[in-house]
Amino acid sequence: MLLTLIIFCPFVLGLLALLLAQAKQMKYWALGILVVDLLLALYAAVFVFDWSGAVQTTEIFGLEVQTPFQMRAHVPWPLLDMFEISYTVGLDHLGMLMVLLTAGLGIFGVLCSFTAIKHREKEFYFHLLVLQTGMLATFAALDFLVFYMAWELMVIPLYFLIGIWGSKDRLYATIKFVLYTLAGSLMMLLAILWMYYNGANTYSFEKMIGLGMAEKWHMAVWPFLGLMFAFLIKVPLWPLHTWLPDAHTEAPTAGSVILAGVLLKTGIYGILRFAIPLFPHAAVALAPLFTWLAIIAIIYGAMCAMVQTDVKRLVAYSSVSHMGFIVLGVFCFNGPALSGAILQMINHGISTGGLFLAVGMIYERRHTRKMADFGGLAHRLPIFAALTMVMVLSSVGLPGLNGFAGEFPILVGAMGNVPIMTLAENPSSFHGFLRQQNYTWLVAALAAMGVILGAVYLLLMYQKVFFGKLDKEENESLSDLNGREIFQLAALSVAALLIGLFPQTVMKPINHTTRHILGVVAAPLSLGPENEPLRYEEAPHDDHGHAAAGTAQTPEG
Amino acid sequence: MIEFVWLIPAIMLLAALVNGLGARRLGKTAGHVAWIAMAICCVISFVILFQVVGLAHDHHWEGTKVLLWKWFDIPNFFGPNRTFSVEMAFRVDQLTAVFLCFVSFIGTLVFIYATGYMKEKHHGHLELDPGYARFFAYVSLFAASMFTLVLGANLGVMFIGWEGVGLCSYLLIGYYFDRPFSDTLSCADAGRKAFVMNRIGDAGLIVGIGLIFWGLGTVDFAEINAALTSGKLPDGSAIPAGFKYGGALITASMLCMFLGATGKSAQIPLFTWLPDAMAGPTPVSALIHAATMVTAGVYMVARLNVPFFLSPGAMAVVAIVGALTAFAAATMGLTQRGIKKALAYSTVSQLGFMFLGLGVGAMAGGIFHVFTHAFFKGCLFLAAGSVIHALHHEEDMFKMGGLKKYMPKTWLAYLMATLAIAGFPLTSGFFSKDEILFSAFISAGDGLPILWAIGVVTAVMTAIYMGRTLFLTFHGPERFDDHAREHLHESPANLTTPILILGALGLVVGFLNVPHGFGGGAHFHHFLAPVVDRGAEHVAAMRGFQTDHAAGVIPAGPLVVAGADGVALAMDAGHKSIERTLAVASGLLGIAGLAIAWWFFGAGITDRSRRLARTLQPLWRLSFYRWWWDDIYTALFQKGTMLKARIIWQLDVAIVDGAVVGMAEGCRSISRSMRRLQNGQVQVYGLVMFVGVCLFLVYLAIGMSNFIGQTAEEPQQGRRILHNAPSPRAIGDGPIVSHSILTERELVQND
C-alpha cells in the first residue's frame, strides 16, 4: 500500500493541484507534492524496506514463488485476471535505489523550472508530476502489462514537456523522441506477447520466474532482442542514440534533467530486471555483442561530444558515452563491473543531471547555449564556476567524487569480462570469429580511452565557457547564482562527494542485486563438460554482511 | 601520533575549505591560514618521522596501517575468486615518513614565500592578487592530495591523491585563466594540456591496477608484496604464472603503471606538459612542478619495488626511458630563453635521472635524488620567481643580466642551488647523482655501461645549462631597460628567507647519505632499505644470490639487476674504488661544465656564444625547438583526434541519424503515394476490391489443397504432443496451467 501511495502520490495530488491551485502557485504545490513523495520514499527506505534482502514466499495466480521483492501490492485486475493480468508492484534493492533517485531528482526538476517556465505553468508542473508517477511505476512494476503502461506513461508527459516548453526545434525533437521510443515499445509488446503465448500464460514477472521459464526459453533469442531493442533505445546505446541529442537539446531544463537523470536509467533497469533474468542464455550468448556496442558508444559518444559547439548537445553526447560505460559493466557479468554499473546509474543521474541544471541556469541568463557566446564567466560568476567545476569533475571521474566510484569498478571489472573469457575457454560455443581469444584487455583498454576523452571534451567545454577573458558585452551584466540555484548544485555536489568517499553505503545494497543477477546467469555461463565450471558464490561474502552500515538501517524501524 | 596521521591531509583539506568558502572576505588571512596549517602538518610529520625511526629498529616492523573505512567491497560472486576490496587506509613507513617530512617542510617555506609573492603592484603599493584566497585554497588542496598520495596504503587511495594533485596542478597552471601564456597556448590551455596528458597516464594506471587486482586479488601494497614474495594468494592458492619472476602479466601491469608514472613525472612520451606548466604562478612551479608532485611517479615505482624487481623487462624500460628523458630534456634546456622554461627542462631531466636510478635497481638512490632535488630545484624556482617578481613578470633571460648587484641574497641562494644541481663536489646533488651514476655503471655488469655514459653526458650538460642560467641572469652586462632598473630591488624578507634556507639545505642535505665508499654511513639509504630494497632482496634470494644487508651491502639492487651472483661482494675493495673514481670524475665534470658555461656566457650574450650557436646551427635548432616534440604531438594527436571526432560526428548525423530520418521519410513518402488511392472514384475502389477478392480466393484454394494433402498422409504432430504429460522441468512448485501452446521443438528440447 505504501508503495502504491508513493507511486500515485504525484499524479493524484497533481490532479488536485490542477483543480485547486492558481497558476502562479502551481510550482509550490508541485514542489510540496514531490517533497512529500520523497519523504514517503525515505520513510519506506529507512523503516519499511528490509535491506538485508531476505527472500519471501508468496502466491501468485496459484503458484507459490520465492520473491526478493518487498512492499508488494498484488491486486488481480477485475475481468482481466483470466489472462493473469494483475496490478503487481514491489521493490528489491535495485528498485528501491531507483525509486529514491527518482523521488530525489524530481525535486530538482521542479526547482530548476521556478523562473524558467513562464507560460502555461499549471500544465507544465502537472506533466512533471505525471512523469514522476510514470517513472516510479516503471521501477516498481512486476506485471508486464503494468510495466508496459508505465513505460508508455513516461513518454506522454515528456512529449508535451519538450513539445510545448522546448526551444526552437522542439517539434522535430519531440516527435522523433516519441516515434523512436514507440518503435522500441512495440518490439517490447511483441516480446511480452511472445512470452505469454510461449509457455508463460501469465503477465506476472514473478510467476514467469517461478515457473522457470528462463530455462525453457534458453533458445529464444528474438524475444530477448525485442526487449533489448526497447531498453537499448531508452539507454540509449549506439546506434540507437540519435534521438537523444535532439531531445536533450530542445527540452526545457527540467525535461533534460529528468531525461538524463532517470529516464535513461529505465533502459538499464529493464535489462537488469527483465531481459537478463528471463533470457539469461541469450544474454550470455550476445554479451560480447553488447560489450562491443558499449565500447563503440563510449568512444563514439566522446568523440561526438568533443566537436559540439552547443553546450547542451555536448552534455547529451557525453551521456551516450557514459551510458556506454554502464552497458559495458552490465555485460561483463562479474561482481565489480555489475555493481559499478548499477552505482553508475545513480552517479550519472547526479552528475549529468547537475550539468544539465548548470546549462539551464546559464541559458536562463543568456538565452543561448553556444559556447562561443561565453568565455570568462568565472570572473562574473565565481560561485557558479566553482559548483559547475564539481559537476564536471564528477562526470570526468575524479577519484573522491561519485563518477569514479562507479567507473573504477567497471573498468577493473571489464578486465575480467566473464562471457568473453568463458567463450575463449569454450571453443564449442557459437560465438563468431573472435572465439578462443581472450581479448578482455583490449576491451578494458578501449574503455579506458573513454576516460581520457571524457577529460578532453568536458574540460574543453569548461574552459570555453568559464576561462579566458570576459570579452562579450552581454556577459558583463550577468548575475551569479541565487540561493535556489546554489541549493540545487550544492546539494548534488555534496551527494557526489558523499558517494565518492563512501560508495560502500550504496554499494552494499547494490551487491545484493548483483549477486541475484549473477546467480541468474551462472547456469548459462557454466558451459560444457570439458570446462571447469566457473565459481558462483551463493552466500554473501563474509566481510560483506558486517561491513560498515550506511543506508542499510534496521528494518521495521 | 601515527594513528592520527589522517590529521595531516585533514588539516590541509580544512584549510582549503576555509579558503575556498571564505574567498574574498578573508583577505590576507587566507595566506596565513594556509601556511600555518602547513607548518602544523610539518610538525606532525617530523614527530611521525621520529616515531618511525624508533619503530624501525624492529626489523619485522613493516609499517603501521591506519584503517579509516572501507571504500569499496564488492565480492566477485561469479568468475575468479576475487573480492574487489579497497580500504580507505593510510600506511606509515620509512618511505612515507620521508616524503611527508620533505613535502611539508618545503611546502611551508613555499607557502610563506607565496604570501609575499602573490601580490601585485598597483599605483605604487602592493595589493593582494585578486585570486589570493583561491590560490591558497588550491595549494592547500594540493597539499592534502599529495599527503594522501604518499600515505595511501593501497593503489586505490594512492590514486585519489594521484588524481587530486593532477587536478590541483590543472587548476593552478590555469590560475591566470584569462591570460595568454605563449603564442599558441593560453594559461588555461596549458592547464588542460597537463590534465589530459596526465589522464593518458592515468588510464594506464587504471588498467595496471585492474591487472594486479585480477592477478593477485588485492590492491593493497603490503598484500601485493606478501603475495609476490610468498607466491601465494591470501586464500592459499598459488599466484598466476604470469605474476612469477619475469612473467608476462607482471611485466604488462608494471608497464601500465609506469605509463602512469611517465604522465605524472613528465617522462618520454608524456613529458611535454611540464614546460607549459610554467604558466602557473612561480611558487606553484617550485612546489608542484619541481619539488613534490612530479616526483609522484618516482614514489610509486619505489613503492612498487617488489613487482618491478620481479619484472626485469619493466625495470629495463624504466631505466632506458629515464636515461633518454634525462638526455633529451637536458639538450632542450641548453638553449631556452625563459628562465622558468630552462628550469622546467632541467626538472624533466632530473626526473629522468631519478627513473634511471630506479630502473637500474638503486631505488633508494632514486628517492634520495628526489629528496635533494626538492631542495635545490625548489630554491632555483623560488629564486627565479624572486627575479621575475622584481622585473615585473619578465622571464626572458636575454633581458636580464647583472642582477647580482641588485639582488645579492637571491643571487647567493641561486648560486648555492646551482652548485648543488651541477654536482659540485660535496654538495647534495653530487652525492645523489653520484649514487645513481655508480649504480648505472655497475648494473651494466660485464656489458658496456651505456646508461651510465648517457647519464654522465647529461650531468655535464646539466652543469652547462645551469651555469648558463646563473650567468645570464645574475652576471654580465645589464640587458633590461631603465624603467625596470628604477623599480629593481631585492625581494622582501618573506621571499628571500625561504630561498636562502632551501639553498643552504640544498648544499648540505647530501651529507645524510654519504656513501660507504667515502667512509660515510649512507644513513638515508639504510633507513629506507627495509621498504625500497625488498624487491632486490627477494629477487636476489630467489635466484640464489647472497645478500647481507646488515653488513652494509648497499647497492644490492643494481647488482641484482646486473645478475651478479656475488651480491655480498658488493662493497669489496674493487667496488669502493670504482665508486670513488666515478665520483671524482663526475665532480670534475660538473666543475668543467660550469667552466664551459662561464666561458660562453660569463659575459652575457657575446659574439662567442652567438658564434657557438651559429656553428652548431642544426643542433641549436634541434634544442631550441625542443626536438619538435610538441609540434609532432599537436599535429598527430591533438589535431588528428579533433579531425577524427569531426568525421565521426558528421557520420553520426549523416548515416546513423540519417537512417532513422530516412526511415521516417520513407514512411511518409509511402503514405503520400497511398493517399492517391483514396481519390473518391467508386470505379477504382470496385476494381481494387475485385482484384483483392480474387487474390484471396486463390490463396484459400492453395491453402486448402495443402491441408488436405497433409491430413491424408499423417496426423499432425503438434496435436499429439499436446496430449503428452508436461515435461518434468515445466512443473514448478505449484500447479501448472495446462493449456500452453508449446511447440514441438521446445518440448523436445526440454526433455
**Chain A, 144-173: which have a CB under 8 Å from a chain B CB?**
none
pLDDT at position B37 over 90: yes
Instruction: Judge: A535–B79 Cβ closer than 8 Å, yes or no.
Output: yes
Chain A residues with CB under 8 Å of B659 CB are 239
pLDDT of res. A95: 93
Chain A residues with CB under 8 Å of B206 CB are 408, 411-412, 448, 451
The secondary element (H helix, E strand) that includes residue A20 is helix A2-20
Q: Which residue has the higher pLDDT, A550 or B535?
A: B535
Give the residue from chain B lying closest to A416, CA to CA: B214
Residue A329 — left, alpha, or beta (φ > 0 → left; ψ -120 to 50 → alpha)?
A: alpha
Beta carbons of A236 and A244 less than 8 angstroms apart: yes
Instruction: Judge: A211–B729 Cβ closer than 8 Å, yes or no.
Output: no
Query: A413 at the B interface (CB within 8 A)?
Result: yes
DSSP class of A24: G
Pairing of strands B64-75, B119-122: unpaired
Q: Where in chain A are the domains?
A: 1-49+65-278, 285-526+550-554
Instruction: Judge: B74–A400 Cβ closer than 8 Å, yes or no.
Output: no
- The beta-carbon neighbor of A536 closest among B77, B88, B641 is B77
SS3 state at A88: strand
**Chain B, 77-116: which have a CB under 8 Å from a chain A CB?**
77-85, 88
Tell me how far apart the alpha carbons of residues B721 and B398 are, in angstroms, rounded to a whole number.
97
Instruction: Judge: A399–B162 Cβ closer than 8 Å, yes or no.
Output: yes
pLDDT at position B659 over 50: yes
Alpha helices in A415-530, H assignment, sequence order: 418-425, 440-466, 483-501, 503-525
SS3 state at A212: coil
Mean pLDDT score across all residues of chain A: 86
- A-B contacts at Cβ under 8 angstroms: 247
Q: Which residues contact B304 (CB under 8 A, 6 or more apart)?
A: B221, B224, B254, B257
Q: What's the gap in Å between the CA of B364 and the closest CA on chain A?
A: 29
Q: Which residue has the higher pLDDT, A520 or B747?
A: A520
Write down the pTM of the prediction.
0.88
Instruction: Judge: A451–B23 Cβ closer than 8 Å, yes or no.
Output: no
At residue B667 the predicted structure's pLDDT band, cuts being 50, 70 and 90, is confident
pLDDT in tens, B295-346: 999 999 999 999 999 999 999 999 999 999 999 999 998 888 889 999 999 9
Query: B71 at the A interface (CB within 8 A)?
Result: yes
Give the residue from chain A lying closest to B170, CA to CA: A459
Q: What's the gap in Å between the CA of B742 and the closest CA on chain A?
A: 6
Q: What's the gap in Å between the CA of A15 and the closest CA on chain B?
A: 36
pLDDT in tens, A353-379: 999 999 999 998 888 888 888 888 888
- Amino acid (one-letter) located at A42: L
pLDDT at position B94 over 50: yes
pLDDT at position A467 over 50: yes
Pairing of strands B125-128, B119-122: antiparallel
Query: Looking at this predicted complex, what is its ipTM?
Result: 0.87
Tell me how far apart the alpha carbons of residues A15 and A141 are, in angstroms, rounded to a whole number.
22
Query: B654 at the A interface (CB within 8 A)?
Result: no
Tell me how far apart the alpha carbons of residues B195 and B192 are, in angstroms, rounded to a whole number.
5
Q: How many CB atoms sit inside 10 A of residue A191's CB? A: 25
pLDDT of res. B727: 44
B127 phi and psi, to 5 degrees? Answer: -125, 150
| Of A3-7, B28-32, B714-718, the least confident | B714-718
pLDDT at position A550 over 50: no
Q: Which residues pair with B66 in a beta bridge?
A: B90
pLDDT of res. A375: 82
Q: What is the mean pLDDT of residues B267-272?
A: 89
pLDDT in tens, B364-387: 999 999 999 999 999 999 999 999
pLDDT of res. A119: 84
pLDDT at position B570 over 70: no
pLDDT of res. B465: 92
Tell me how far apart the alpha carbons of residues A74 and A498 are, in angstroms, rounded to a whole number.
36
| Of A428-437, B290-299, B332-341, B634-643, the least confident | A428-437
pLDDT at position B747 over 50: no
Tell me how far apart the alpha carbons of residues A329 and A351 are, in angstroms, rounded to a whole number.
18
Residue A501, C-alpha cell as written in the block: 568517499
pLDDT in tens, A494-542: 999 999 999 999 998 999 888 888 888 877 776 533 444 455 655 544 4
Tell me how far apart the alpha carbons of residues A321 and A82 are, in angstroms, rounded to a whole number.
45
Query: A300 at the B interface (CB within 8 A)?
Result: yes
Which CA distances in Å does B322 have to A92, B292, B366?
54, 18, 11
Residue B88, C-alpha cell as written in the block: 580507505
Burial class (CB in 10 A: 0-12, 13-18, 19+), A445: buried
Grid-cell match 652543469, residue found: B463
Beta carbons of A262 and A101 less than 8 angstroms apart: yes
pLDDT of res. A382: 87
pLDDT at position B49 over 90: yes
Give the residue from chain A lying closest to B157, CA to CA: A399
Q: Which residue has the higher pLDDT, A277 or B717?
A: A277
pLDDT in tens, A119-148: 888 889 999 999 999 999 999 999 999 999
Q: What is the mean pLDDT of residues A84-92?
A: 90
Residue B214, C-alpha cell as written in the block: 585480477
Q: At what angle do helices A402-414 and A382-396 cross, to 10 degrees?
A: 20
Give the residue from chain B lying closest to A413, CA to CA: B210
Residue B463, C-alpha cell as written in the block: 652543469
| Of A103-107, B298-302, B554-558, B641-645, the least confident | B554-558
- Percentages of chain A per state (helix, strand, coil), in multiples of 5: 70, 5, 25
